[in-house]
C-alpha cells in the first residue's frame, strides 16, 4: 500500500518527499473529503481522492523548491482550505521543521478546519483569522498565494502591506501568460517561472522584487 501511495506522488519525487510525508498528505485528503461534506473546503465537484491529490495536493507541493529556507516564516495569503499552506507545512516537517507557516483566512469555519489539521498532523502553523487586506507592516520570508486574487491586486497588497519579505510565489493558470504580460505594463518584476507539473497550460511564478511603474 505504501508503494502505491509513493507512486501516486511520483511527479514530486525530485522534491525529496518522504514516505511519511506522502502518508500525511493522504491523511489530509481524507480530512478534506470528510469536512467538505459540511463546509465548502474546495469545489464540491472535486471529491475523488485521486482528483484532490492531483489538482490540489501535488499542485501545491510543487512550489517547495521556491520556498526561502533561510527564513523561519512563510505566509499564505487567503489560504482557504489550506492550499498551498497546509501542504507546504506538511512537506517542511522533513526539510525545515522550525519553519512557521502563517495561514491567513477570514472564514471562521475554514480556520477551525485549518487548526484541526494542524493539531492532528502536528504542523508548525499559525492560523490567523483575519482579512490579510487589513493587516499592515507584515514581515516574512516567502509569500505564497493560490487562487486568491488577480495578479495586479496581489502585487498591490504585497507592495502596500508587507514591510519585508524574500519572494512571492504565485500559481498562474490557463490565462496566466496574458495576465502576466498585461501586468508587466504597470509593474517592474524580477521573476523566474517554471512549468506546472499538473497542468500543461499553467506555470509557477517566483517573484523576487516588485516595483510599480510611475505613469
Interval 163-176: pLDDT, tens: 999 999 999 999 99
CA within 13 Å, CB half, 65: 14
Provide, rounded to the nearest whole percent, the portion of the chain with pLDDT above 90.
77
Mean pLDDT value of segment 48-74: 92
Domain spanning 2-212 has what CATH number?
Answer: 3.40.50.150
- Burial (CB < 10 A; 0-12, 13-18, 19+), residue 139, is exposed
The domain segmentation of the chain, as residue ranges, is: 2-212
| Residue closest to 107 by CA, chosen among 85, 137, 82 | 82
Q: How confident is the model at residue 1 (pLDDT cuts 50, 70, 90)?
A: very low
Interval 118-166: pLDDT, tens: 999 999 999 999 999 999 999 999 999 998 999 999 999 999 999 999 9
- The answer, yes or no, to whether residue 180 has pLDDT greater than 90, is yes
| Residue closest to 61 by CA, chosen among 118, 17, 29, 26 | 17
Amino acid at each position: 500500500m505504501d508503494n502505491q501511495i509513493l507512486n501516486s506522488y511520483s511527479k514530486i519525487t525530485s522534491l525529496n518527499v518522504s514516505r511519511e510525508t506522502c502518508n500525511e498528505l493522504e491523511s489530509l485528503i481524507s480530512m478534506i473529503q470528510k469536512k467538505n461534506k459540511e463546509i465548502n473546503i474546495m469545489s464540491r465537484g472535486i471529491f475523488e481522492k485521486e482528483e484532490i491529490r492531483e489538482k490540489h495536493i501535488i499542485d501545491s507541493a510543487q512550489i517547495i523548491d521556491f520556498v526561502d529556507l533561510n527564513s523561519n516564516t512563510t505566509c499564505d495569503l487567503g489560504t482557504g482550505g489550506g492550499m498551498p499552506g497546509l501542504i507546504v507545512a506538511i512537506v517542511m516537517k522533513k526539510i525545515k521543521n522550525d519553519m512557521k507557516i502563517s495561514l491567513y483566512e477570514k472564514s471562521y469555519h475554514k480556520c477551525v478546519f485549518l487548526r484541526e489539521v494542524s493539531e492532528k498532523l502536528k504542523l508548525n502553523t499559525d492560523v490567523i483569522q483575519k482579512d490579510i487586506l487589513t493587516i499592515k507592516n507584515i514581515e516574512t520570508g516567502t509569500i505564497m498565494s493560490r487562487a486568491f486574487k488577480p495578479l495586479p491586486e496581489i502585487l498591490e497588497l504585497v507592495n502596500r502591506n508587507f514591510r519585508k519579505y524574500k519572494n512571492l510565489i504565485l500559481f498562474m493558470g490557463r490565462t496566466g501568460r496574458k495576465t502576466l504580460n498585461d501586468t508587466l505594463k504597470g509593474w517592474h518584476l524580477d521573476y523566474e517561472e517554471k512549468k506546472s507539473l499538473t497542468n500543461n497550460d499553467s506555470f509557477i511564478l517566483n517573484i523576487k522584487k516588485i516595483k510599480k511603474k510611475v505613469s
